[in-house]
């Protein structure tokens, strides 16, 4: 019977749970789903990571290529994040060109890299004006069960931390490019931005780390990106208006969560031997 | 290339396998919650995901609906980081489109399509890491995903590749052996009735050599089938026992 | 307590000067510049200008139809070229903001379409677009839960906060924060940020922008009543 109510009147179904301060998947309102992180799982990529937040699964692969820099910014390499939401991950997505959500996510990833300065484009320079690295950061969602933003962010940072590039030198006189595959240089990733997403249920309750079902019923969402003790981004695109206190509360929780995720990434990186 | 012997004098291949030896196969069914059926399969270093949605109502143009059988919609896609050189487009290039059609044709032949008229079954395949035998791994993974989704089929479809190197038929070739310019035979078979659903051959092979290669591949398919079937049946038995326990209270 | 306090002229000027750093740029607007849409507005904030047009509630394509409320659609047109991913993100932000403001439940199975044309982007572009869209909605007399007012603030390298920054300040700033408030409880409808900042700086920006949003709301009121008086 419960399952029928869940499908026919999802909101009522949820309300009955939330009255008792618990969610249908046995979580409390402020409880995160279990996170599984696997770093360096794709050997064809320069760096990779797979993350599972509950059922949500995102895989990230970093591929590097050489290119000539733009004339007006001769020292800047290129960082190109791209988020894919293929029809494989949920029946809500159709085959074809990337949808609006995927485009917005890709843009958000690019914004966060720029805002947090976790990877400077200057650090990808090999020879100013002649040769720079292009980092293609491809994120593919494999199972869409809500909160893809947070998952993408962890996958992105972990994969960047995992990335090693071969040493490349340019001969000053002949302009020849020499690659030394034996020496491998890790990327200079300076910090670890972490996103925490909350949704607003029924215009009043704040739920953290929403599932797909919860997202579809949400009346608003806030994503807070923290980096150590600094804020990198507060992203609340419309939805139910929130009071200052509610947002402050979210920020506090985001800081705690940020530290936990950072520790998880560090621990996992340590266990990966290279 | 000198120094790169695809088959050593002692009869071992580059990765240390014997000619008739398969790569290690690992798989897991039912890994995703959203899809109706899903599977992850590793064949050596080739890693493939498959997800199945359906049977459901026809999406998009209704004109594609067939009144006598189900429409099978496939999409083959390779992650941009799956190959040594970055792929520009994960799907939509000629190779992926060819692969998509091959998958569709293969599964059209084995799914009991007449059971679900006017509906659609989606099969999505994503290659996460590629080391040769992408088609084979995709077919095997999709078969497992279809089993997980509970879609009726005539039999398993098992695909395996093979080649003819130095007068020896070899089975389940990897990327190095594929790209060295030798011939390549790919087969998808129904292992229990020993029927061939799909057969493809690239580059030159002497007529006399075709049948030993095919025999070798057929043997490889039977081996893969044994590996998959054993685990699938085990899981099924466990599930059945569990359900029985639940039913009896 | 003295009944009268003498205010020196210099003090007053200094106060005004200080205020000018911490107040909005000059706001002007024109309601209904376009004849074809149901409502339209040009909103200018300093040199930043946006034009918004509202069509609706009108017929909606079956594929986009929502059975319990109106479909809100926002189309953002950049000054030159086709919309880039950045513009798509902006579009999405504005759409979600306006969806909260519009009483969509009053018009089920219909479409409210808002087209925003970027005319001049010289700082606080997002804020200007949101304000223009809100005025256009008022002009079209679409029923709304509340009005929205957007204000931007920039945090400089030294930690100074500059309200309603021009594009030069935005480029040099460490962070730029844009807030959208509702007119009823002055709660936060939207926050969009770029760059790094501390929690303290966030609070300061919030405080300043919240005060400044009152100016925008009273501006809405004035221009609307002017227009209504004229038509009466």
pLDDT value for C21: 52
Question: Hey, is the C-beta of A49 within 8 angstroms of any chain B C-beta?
Answer: no
3-state class (DSSP) for residue C5 = coil
3-state class (DSSP) for residue C197 = strand
Chain A residues lying within 8 Å of B92, measured CB to CB: none
On the question of pLDDT at A71 being above 90, the answer is: no
> What is the distance in angstroms between the Cα of A242 and the nearest Cα belonging to chain B?
31
In chain C, % of residues over pLDDT 70: 91
Assess whether chains C and B touch, using the rule of 3 or more C-beta pairs within 8 angstroms. Answer: no
Per-residue pLDDT reduced to its tens digit, C32-74: 999 999 999 999 998 999 999 999 899 999 888 998 899 999 9
Which residues of chain B approach chain A closer than 8 Å at the C-beta?
A: 31-35, 45, 47, 49, 51, 53, 56, 59-60, 75, 77, 79-84, 86, 90, 122, 124, 126, 128-131
B79–A59 C-beta distance less than 8 A: yes
Q: Using CB atoms within 10 Å of the CB of residue B227, give its burial: 0 to 12 exposed, 13 to 18 middle, 19+ buried.
A: middle
pLDDT value for C9: 59
Question: Hey, is the C-beta of A107 within 8 angstroms of any chain C C-beta?
Answer: yes
In chain B, % of residues over pLDDT 70: 98
What's the maximum distance between 2 C-alpha atoms anywhere in chain C?
71
Which residues make beta-bridge pairs with B13? B7
- Contacts of residue C138, defined as CB under 8 A and 6 or more positions apart, other chains included, come to C31, C39, C41, C144, C147, C220, C224
Residue B144: asked if its preceding bond is cis (omega within 30°), the reply is: no
Assess whether chains B and A touch, using the rule of 3 or more C-beta pairs within 8 angstroms. Answer: yes
State the residue for tokens 């007012």.
C149
- In chain C, what are the helix, strand and coil shares in percent, each to the nearest 5? 40, 30, 30
Whole-number average pLDDT of chain B: 90
B128–A59 C-beta distance less than 8 A: yes
- Contacts of residue A50, defined as CB under 8 A and 6 or more positions apart, other chains included, come to A37, A38, A39, A41, A57, A58, A59, A60, A155
Touching subunits of B (3+ CB pairs, under 8 Å) are: A
A242–C197 C-beta distance less than 8 A: no
Q: Give the CATH fold of the A24-273 domain.
A: Ribosomal Protein S5; domain 2 (3.30.230)
- Listed residue (A161, A132, A165, A149) closest to A63, CA to CA: A165
A43–B45 C-beta distance less than 8 A: yes
Per-residue pLDDT reduced to its tens digit, C185-211: 999 999 999 999 999 999 999 999 999
Q: Note which residues in 217-236 of chain A have CB less than 8 A from chain C.
A: 220, 222, 227, 229-236
Q: What number of C-beta contacts closer than 8 Å exist between A and B?
A: 81
Contact C105, C97 (CB under 8 A): no
Whole-number average pLDDT of chain A: 90
Question: Hey, is the C-beta of A100 within 8 angstroms of any chain C C-beta?
Answer: yes
pLDDT value for A259: 93
pLDDT band at A106 (very low <50, low <70, confident <90, very high): very high
Torsion of CA A225, A119, A43, A257, to 10 degrees: -20
Q: Hey, what domains does chain C have and what are their CATH numbers?
A: 15-225 (3.30.230.70)
Contact B145, B51 (CB under 8 A): yes
pLDDT value for B169: 92
pLDDT value for A3: 82
Q: Where are the alpha helices (DSSP H) in C22-65?
A: none
d(Cα A180, Cα B167) in Å, to the nearest integer?
38
pLDDT value for C1: 38
pLDDT value for A262: 93
Query: How many C-beta atoms lie closer than 10 Å to residue A185's C-beta?
Result: 12
Chain C residues lying within 8 Å of A243, measured CB to CB: 185, 187-188
The tally of CA atoms less than 13 A away on the side-chain side of residue C185 is 10
On the question of pLDDT at C20 being above 60, the answer is: no
Q: Which two tokens stand for residue A2?
A: 């419960």
- Ordered by start, the domain boundaries in chain A are 24-273
pLDDT value for A110: 93
Per-residue pLDDT reduced to its tens digit, A235-265: 999 889 999 999 999 999 999 999 999 999 9
Contact C114, C133 (CB under 8 A): yes
d(Cα A199, Cα A74) in Å, to the nearest integer?
42
Angle subtended by helix axes A148-162 and A100-116, to nearest 10: 50
Assess whether chains C and A touch, using the rule of 3 or more C-beta pairs within 8 angstroms. Answer: yes
Of C99, C100, C175, the CB nearest to A241: C100
Contact B43, B130 (CB under 8 A): no
Question: Hey, is the C-beta of A245 within 8 angstroms of any chain C C-beta?
Answer: no
Per-residue pLDDT reduced to its tens digit, C110-130: 999 999 999 999 989 999 999
Contact A90, A212 (CB under 8 A): yes
Mutation to test the A interface, candidates C72, C85, C137, C209, most A Cβ within 10 Å: C85
Per-residue pLDDT reduced to its tens digit, A29-67: 999 999 999 999 898 999 999 999 999 999 999 999 999
- Contacts of residue B18, defined as CB under 8 A and 6 or more positions apart, other chains included, come to B11, B12
Query: What average pLDDT score do residues B53-57 get?
Result: 90
């Amino acid at each position: 019977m419960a399952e029928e109510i869940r499908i026919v009147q999802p909101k009522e179904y949820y309300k009955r749970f939330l009255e008792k301060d618990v969610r249908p998947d046995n979580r409390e309102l402020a409880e995160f789903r279990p996170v599984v992180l696997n770093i360096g799982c794709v050997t064809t990529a320069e760096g990779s990571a797979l993350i599972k937040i509950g059922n949500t699964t995102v895989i990230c692969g970093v591929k590097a290529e050489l290119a000539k820099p733009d004339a007006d910014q001769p020292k800047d390499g290129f960082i190109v994040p791209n988020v894919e939401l293929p029809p494989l991950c949920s029946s809500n997505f159709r085959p074809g060109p990337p949808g609006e959500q995927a485009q917005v996510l890709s843009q958000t990833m690019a914004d966060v890299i720029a805002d947090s300065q976790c990877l400077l484009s200057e650090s990808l320079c090999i020879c100013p004006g002649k040769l720079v690295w292009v980092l293609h950061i491809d994120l593919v969602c494999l199972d869409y069960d809500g909160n893809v933003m947070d998952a993408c962010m962890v996958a992105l940072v972990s994969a960047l931390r995992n990335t090693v590039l071969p040493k490349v030198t340019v001969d000053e006189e002949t302009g020849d490019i020499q690659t030394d595959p034996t020496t491998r240089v890790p990327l200079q990733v300076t910090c670890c931005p972490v996103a925490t997403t909350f949704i607003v249920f029924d215009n009043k309750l704040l739920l953290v780390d929403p599932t797909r079902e919860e997202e579809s019923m949400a009346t608003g969402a806030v994503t807070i990106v923290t980096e150590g003790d600094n804020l990198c981004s507060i992203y609340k695109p419309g939805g139910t208006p929130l009071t200052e206190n509610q947002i402050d509360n979210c920020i506090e929780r985001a800081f705690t969560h940020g530290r936990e995720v950072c520790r998880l990434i560090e621990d996992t990186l340590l266990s990966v031997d290279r | 290339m000198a120094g790169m012997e695809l088959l050593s004098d002692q009869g071992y291949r580059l990765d240390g396998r014997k000619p008739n030896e398969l790569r290690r196969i690992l798989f897991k069914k039912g890994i995703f919650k959203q899809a109706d059926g899903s599977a992850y399969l590793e064949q050596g270093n080739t890693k493939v995901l498959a997800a199945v949605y359906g049977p459901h109502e026809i999406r998009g143009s209704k004109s594609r609906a067939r009144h006598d059988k189900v429409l099978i919609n496939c999409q083959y896609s390779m992650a941009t980081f799956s190959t040594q050189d970055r792929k520009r487009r994960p799907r939509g290039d000629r190779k992926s489109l060819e692969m998509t059609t091959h998958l569709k044709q293969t599964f059209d032949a084995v799914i009991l399509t007449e059971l679900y008229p006017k509906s659609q079954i989606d099969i999505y395949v994503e290659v996460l890491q590629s080391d040769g035998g992408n088609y084979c791994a995709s077919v095997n993974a999709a078969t497992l995903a279809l089993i997980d989704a509970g879609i009726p089929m005539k039999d398993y479809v098992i695909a395996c590749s093979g080649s003819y190197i130095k007068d020896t038929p070899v089975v389940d070739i990897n990327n190095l052996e594929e790209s060295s310019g030798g011939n390549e035979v790919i087969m998808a078979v129904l292992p229990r009735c020993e029927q061939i659903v799909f057969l493809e051959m690239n580059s030159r092979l002497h007529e006399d050599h075709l049948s030993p290669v095919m025999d070798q591949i057929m043997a490889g398919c039977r081996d893969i089938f044994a590996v998959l079937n054993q685990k699938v049946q085990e899981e099924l038995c466990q599930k059945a026992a569990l359900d029985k326990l639940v039913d009896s209270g | 307590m003295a009944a009268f306090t003498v205010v020196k002229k210099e003090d007053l000027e200094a106060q005004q000067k200080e205020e000018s750093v911490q107040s909005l740029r000059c706001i002007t607007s024109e309601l209904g510049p376009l004849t074809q849409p149901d409502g339209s507005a040009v909103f200018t904030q300093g040199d930043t200008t946006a034009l918004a047009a509202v069509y609706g509630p009108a017929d909606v394509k079956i594929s986009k139809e929502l059975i319990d409320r109106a479909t809100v659609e926002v189309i953002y047109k950049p000054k030159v070229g086709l919309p880039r991913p950045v513009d798509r993100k902006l579009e999405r932000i504005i759409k979600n903001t306006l969806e909260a403001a519009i009483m969509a439940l009053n018009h089920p199975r219909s479409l409210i379409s808002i087209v925003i044309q970027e005319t001049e982007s010289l700082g606080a572009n997002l804020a200007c677009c949101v304000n223009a869209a809100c005025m256009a909605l008022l002009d079209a007399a679409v029923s709304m839960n509340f009005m929205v007012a957007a204000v931007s603030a920039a945090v400089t390298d030294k930690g100074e906060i500059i309200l309603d920054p021009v594009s030069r300040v935005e480029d040099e700033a460490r962070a730029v924060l844009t807030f959208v408030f509702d007119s009823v409880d002055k709660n936060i409808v939207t926050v969009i940020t770029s760059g790094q900042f501390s929690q303290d700086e966030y609070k300061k920006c919030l405080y300043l922008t919240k005060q400044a949003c009152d100016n925008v709301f009273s501006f809405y009121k004035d221009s609307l009543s002017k227009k209504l008086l004229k038509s009466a």
